[in-house]
């Protein structure tokens, strides 16, 4: 391809990726698989790596992250970022509306919106391209977090349609409940302390240094305000609608996320509706915002020192109930972390019955000054796990007793340890504590780890009780007779399980490493380690300093890896896993060969088992080169169905070998 063709190909890929991004993230109607999408992205990234002059700031590859920002630059806001006056009382909304009616004689229309509970952001676009994204900071100046904001799929990197040439759009970045839950589940699995709530997590995420980690966290956004010198609309509602046309994710009116109203009754109706419905939203809101729609009237009403007079927030009180703390029990995680759990007198809260709540750790219990027998306050927002937020000391009875944190593991009775600087207590008996062994086995067979078909927690329990399993490597010693004789097992399910174990020998190294259950080594860290170290030997021999050279690997993770490989029991398990044939070699390097070195390919048409991009990827992975058009230098044309007749003729004229999918497969196998 010449430079013009390369540029055209890059432009085409960007348009195609933008199109699928919009379908996936904004319309929730994807047309291609994630895999196909990743291939498009990889093709674009490769071209941009090779031809950096065509690596545009708006390219969707920028969303994947990877830029490390050591320090965020402080930037002064062009328009100060004010806050909203707010109230918890309906009367004050009525008073606000009355005040407005006195100031202006215009007929007033209001826009009611959700008050998203996240982090405010101001994003500037010039000529339709995102140039800067700044946090609120103190309202006068904020931090430049552009690289991180670029990873948020619902915020366009470049706009379409009739956008103003220079403007700023403001909105809220938040973490949806399912993402927050998934993140905490992952943290629980690797023995990390849990995040407290989605808002703080979104805020912390936005200030992370590695934008690749931000990208993986799936933040989301809604936009709610437009700022600029020559904006073309005359009211807020049309500005939001317009933003939708330019490619922003805007609040859907049919779902009542945004609504026009011209009466206090309409406003109250909106407030009452969301006070109940907020629990069914996939993200957290802490109230609703009422704004005067017309910009001219907004101007007339003006601002106080801190907030606009034309808007007010009605905040919802977090729903809080009282109940009795009956007892505290202690759970043992697979890494040995001990979590205290409050057993409560069942109470209705936010649409569900609450019976238990996590107390996190000893410090939290002490901070709350909690006694067994206390009447406690429980709060819950959205789908978040209920929390004990305080004690009603007026109701503390004489027979309430202080909570004495357990000293021994509730399962194996080992003396618990608490490392300096850590909040969590641990059971140190990691290789013999039954709960930890079973937890490690369950983690090992899990979907994101070895994904072993036909094996679940109950079977693990039964096999453990029989004494067949004492470590993860024992799984590969299981015999048909041992399995088939278990309660509820039949011949077919026993065979399935054995086949599942057999199949797991093909699971790639990064997932095997994750499955091994090293404390603090989650999916992402495992991938980073595998990318850096070619095989398990290189990893287990690495020094602390060498480990810390890997992106995002700090002292805590490095220490944990070192101590894992110093434990003779772990080494024995590992030797066994190696000898049964699990993958301990970097999978990328496995796929690669130089079989196609020096050969140039043109891929054309539609294929049966591969997509065009998959074939192109395989060509590159095996040392070959892709080109866009046929010339005398082309070694092979890989032809699928519907290949254009002119291409076919050109290949024939130049006497170039035309091969099909099957021939190609043989070439690289
Ligand atoms: S309008 C002049 N609309 O609430 C202020 N803010 O307490 C313009 N927020 O900093 C803000 N949802 O982070 C507006 N629909 C919404 C909002 C919203 C959430 C946040 C925003 C702001 C804070 C004000």
83 C-beta closer than 6 A to ligand 1: yes
Pocket test for ligand 1, best of 81, 83, 84 (most atoms within 8 A of CB): 84
- At residue 527, does pLDDT exceed 90? no
Please, what is the angle between helix 90-103 and helix 264-277, to 10°?
150
Give the model confidence (pLDDT) of 6-18 as tens digits.
999 999 999 999 8
Per DSSP (E only), the strands in 201-351 are: 220-227, 258-261, 285-292, 311-315, 320-332, 337-349
Q: What is the pLDDT of residue 69?
A: 64
The minimum-distance atom of ligand 1 relative to the CA of 119 is 13
Q: In this predicted structure, what is the pLDDT of residue 500?
A: 92
pLDDT at position 102 = 87
pLDDT digit string (tens) for 112-151? Answer: 999 999 999 999 999 999 999 999 988 899 999 999 999 9
Q: Which atom of ligand 1 is nearest to 83's Cα? A: 24
| 549/545 Cα distance (integer angstroms) | 6
What pLDDT score does 311 carry? 97
Residue 137 Cβ contacting ligand 1 at under 6 Å: no
* Ligand 1: centre distance to CA 137 (Å): 14
pLDDT at 461 over 90: yes
pLDDT in tens, 565-591: 999 999 999 999 999 999 998 865 555
547 C-alpha to ligand 1 centroid (Å): 43
**CA of 311 relative to ligand 1 center, distance in Å:** 9
Mean pLDDT of 248-275: 94
Cβ density class 156-165: b for 16+ within 10 Å, e for less: bbbbeeebbe
Q: Flag the least confident range among 378-387, 476-485, 596-605.
A: 378-387
CA of 134 to the centre of ligand 1 (A): 15
- Confidence at residue 591, expressed as pLDDT on a 0 to 100 scale: 59
Both structure tokens of 600: 């140039």
Q: What are phi and psi of 415, to 5 degrees?
A: -70, 130
Residue carrying structure tokens 């060498």: 546
> What is the mean predicted confidence (pLDDT) over 515-540?
91
The ligand 1 atom at the shortest distance from the C-alpha of residue 115 is 12
Length of the chain: 669
Rounded to an integer, what distance in angstroms lies between the CA atom of residue 294 and that of residue 427? 62
What confidence score (pLDDT) does residue 502 get? 92
Q: In the predicted model, what is the mean pLDDT of residues 528-549?
A: 92
pLDDT tier for residue 538 given thresholds of 50, 70 and 90: very high
Mean pLDDT of 425-450: 94
Q: Ligand 1: does its nearest atom lie under 6 Å from the Cβ of 115?
A: yes
pLDDT value at position 495? 94
Residue 229: how many CB atoms within 10 A of its CB? 9
Query: Pick the residue with more confidence: 551 or 579?
Result: 579
Predicted confidence at residue 76, as pLDDT, reads 93
Could you give the percent of the chain with pLDDT greater than 70? 97
- Whether the full predicted model's pTM is greater than 0.75, yes or no, is no
Between the alpha carbon of residue 394 and those of residues 324, 366, 399, the distances in Å are 13, 18, 14
Check if 289 has its Cβ closer than 6 Å to any atom of ligand 1.
yes
CA distance 119 to 104: 33
- Give CA–CA dist 119/177, Å, rounded: 15
Predicted confidence at residue 590, as pLDDT, reads 53
Would you call 378 helix, strand, or coil by DSSP? strand
Task: Spot the catalytic one: 29, 71, 102, 115.
Answer: 115
pLDDT of residue 280: 87
The residue to mutate among 85, 112, 116, having the most atoms of ligand 1 within 8 angstroms of its beta carbon, is 116
382: confidence class by pLDDT, cuts 50, 70, 90? low
For ligand 1, mutation pick of 140, 206, 237, 289 (most atoms within 8 Å of CB): 289
585-636 confidence digits (pLDDT tens): 886 555 577 888 889 999 988 887 677 777 887 887 788 888 878 888 899 9
- pLDDT tens per residue, range 77-122: 999 999 899 898 999 999 999 999 888 777 899 999 999 999 999 9
pLDDT for residue 642 is more than 90: no
156-186 pLDDT, tens digit per residue, is 999 999 999 999 999 999 999 999 988 888 8
According to the model, what pLDDT value does residue 480 have? 95
Q: What is the mean pLDDT of the chain?
A: 89
The answer, yes or no, to whether residue 383 has pLDDT greater than 60, is no
Residue entry with tokens 């109470």: 347
Q: How many Å lie between the centroid of ligand 1 and the Cα of residue 196?
A: 22
Residue 283 Cβ contacting ligand 1 at under 6 Å: no
Q: What pLDDT was estimated at residue 381?
A: 59
In the annotation, is 306 catalytic?
no
Predicted pLDDT of residue 587: 63
What domains can you pick out in the chain, each with its CATH number? 3-64 (1.10.287.610), 74-315 (3.30.470.30), 320-402 (2.40.50.140), 434-506 (1.10.150.20), 509-579 (1.10.150.20), 600-668 (3.40.50.10190)
Tell me which of 609 and 658 has the higher pLDDT. Answer: 658
68 confidence band (pLDDT: 50, 70, 90): low
60-69, 232-241, 635-644: which has the highest mean pLDDT? 232-241
Confidence of residue 66 (pLDDT cuts 50, 70, 90): low
Give the closest residue (by CA) to ligand 1 atom 6. Answer: 115
CA distance 577 to 142: 51
pLDDT of residue 331: 94
């Amino acid at each position: 391809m010449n430079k013009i063709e390369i540029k055209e190909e890059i432009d085409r890929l960007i348009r195609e990726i933008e199109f699928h991004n919009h379908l996936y993230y904004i319309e929730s109607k994807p047309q291609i698989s994630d895999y196909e999408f990743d291939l498009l992205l990889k093709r674009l990234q490769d071209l941009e790596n090779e031809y950096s002059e065509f690596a545009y700031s708006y390219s969707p590859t920028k969303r994947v992250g990877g830029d490390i920002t050591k320090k965020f630059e402080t930037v002064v806001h062009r328009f100060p970022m004010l806050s909203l006056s707010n109230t918890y009382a309906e009367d004050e909304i009525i008073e606000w509306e009355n005040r407005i009616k006195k100031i202006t004689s215009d007929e007033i229309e209001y826009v009611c919106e959700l008050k998203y509970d996240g982090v405010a952001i101001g994003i500037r676009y010039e000529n339709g391209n995102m140039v800067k994204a700044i946090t609120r900071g103190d309202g006068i100046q904020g931090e430049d977090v552009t690289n991180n904001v670029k990873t948020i799929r619902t915020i366009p990197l470049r706009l379409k349609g009739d956008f103003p040439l220079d403007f700023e759009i403001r909105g809220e970045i938040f973490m949806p409940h399912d993402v927050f839950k998934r993140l905490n589940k992952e943290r629980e699995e690797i023995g990390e302390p849990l995040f407290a709530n989605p808002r703080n997590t979104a805020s912390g995420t936005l200030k992370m240094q590695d934008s690749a980690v931000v990208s993986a966290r799936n933040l989301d956004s809604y936009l709610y305000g437009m700022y600029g010198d020559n904006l073309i609309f005359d009211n807020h509602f049309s500005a939001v609608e317009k933003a939708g046309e330019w490619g922003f994710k805007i609040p859907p009116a049919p779902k009542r996320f945004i609504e026009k109203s011209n009466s206090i009754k309409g406003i109250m109706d909106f407030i009452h509706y969301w006070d109940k419905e907020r629990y069914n939203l996939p993200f957290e809101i802490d109230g609703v915002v009422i704004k005067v729609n017309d910009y001219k009237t907004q101007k007339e009403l003006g601002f106080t020192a801190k907030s606009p007079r034309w808007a007010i927030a009605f905040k919802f009180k977090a729903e809080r109930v009282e109940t009795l703390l009956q007892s505290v029990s202690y759970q043992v995680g697979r890494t040995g972390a001990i979590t205290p759990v409050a057993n409560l007198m069942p109470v209705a809260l936010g649409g569900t019955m609450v019976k238990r709540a996590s107390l996190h750790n000893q410090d939290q219990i002490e901070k709350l000054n909690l006694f067994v027998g206390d009447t406690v306050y429980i709060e819950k927002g959205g789908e978040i796990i209920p929390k004990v937020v305080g004690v009603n000391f007026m109701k503390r009875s004489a027979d309430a007793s202080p909570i004495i944190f357990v000293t021994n593991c509730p399962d194996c009775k080992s003396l618990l340890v608490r490392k300096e600087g850590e909040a969590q207590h641990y059971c140190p008996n990691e290789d013999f504590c039954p709960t930890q062994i079973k937890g490690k086995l369950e983690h090992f067979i899990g979907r994101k780890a070895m994904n072993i078909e036909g094996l679940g927690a109950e079977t693990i329990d039964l096999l453990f009780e029989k004494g067949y399993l004492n470590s993860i490597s024992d799984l590969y010693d299981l015999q048909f007779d041992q399995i088939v004789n278990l309660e509820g097992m039949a011949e077919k399910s026993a065979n399935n399980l054995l086949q599942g174990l057999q199949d797991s020998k093909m699971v790639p190294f990064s997932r095997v490493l994750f499955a091994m259950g090293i404390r603090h080594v989650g999916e992402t860290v495992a991938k980073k380690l595998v990318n850096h170290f070619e095989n398990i030997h290189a990893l287990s021999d690495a020094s602390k300093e060498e480990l810390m050279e890997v992106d995002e690997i700090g002292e805590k993770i490095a220490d944990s890896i070192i101590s894992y490989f110093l434990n003779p029991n772990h080494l024995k398990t590992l030797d066994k896993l190696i000898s049964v044939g699990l993958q301990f070699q970097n999978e990328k390097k496995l796929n690669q060969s130089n079989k196609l070195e020096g050969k140039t390919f043109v891929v054309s048409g539609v294929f049966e088992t591969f997509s065009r991009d998959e074939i192109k990827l395989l060509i590159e992975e095996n040392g070959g080169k892709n080109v866009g058009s046929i010339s005398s230098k082309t070694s092979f044309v890989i032809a699928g169905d519907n290949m254009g007749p002119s291409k076919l003729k050109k290949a024939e004229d130049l006497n170039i070998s035309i091969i099909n999918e099957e021939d190609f497969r043989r070439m690289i196998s």
